[in-house]
């Protein structure tokens, strides 16, 4: 049995249809210099590209795959 990669489990979650969801990086500090539209776009979660998602899903716990 493969162990869960905790770094992956903390950064990604699965949607109801089994797709990986990620947050936009770089939006924890220095927000005054970023535009309002960029901050608004960054607040929405994004899907991980299918090619990148396959190895990441293997790192998640067995029950979540």
Domains and their CATH numbers in the chain: 6-64 (4.10.410.60)
Rounded to an integer, the average pLDDT of 6-20 is 92
Q: What is the pTM of this model?
A: 0.77
Considering all CA atoms of the chain, what is the largest pairwise distance in Å, rounded to the nearest integer? 46
pLDDT tens column, 17-52: 999 999 999 999 999 999 999 999 999 999 999 999
Give residue for tokens 């607040």. Answer: 43
Alpha-carbon distance of 53 to 47, in angstroms, equals 9
Displacement of CA 14 from its chain's centroid (Å): 9
């Amino acid at each position: 049995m493969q162990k869960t990669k905790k770094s992956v489990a903390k950064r990604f979650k699965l949607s109801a249809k089994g797709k990986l969801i990620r947050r936009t990086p770089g939006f924890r500090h220095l927000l005054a210099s970023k535009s309002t539209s960029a901050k608004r776009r960054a607040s929405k979660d994004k899907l991980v590209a299918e090619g990148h998602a396959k190895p990441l899903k293997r790192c998640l716990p067995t029950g979540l795959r």
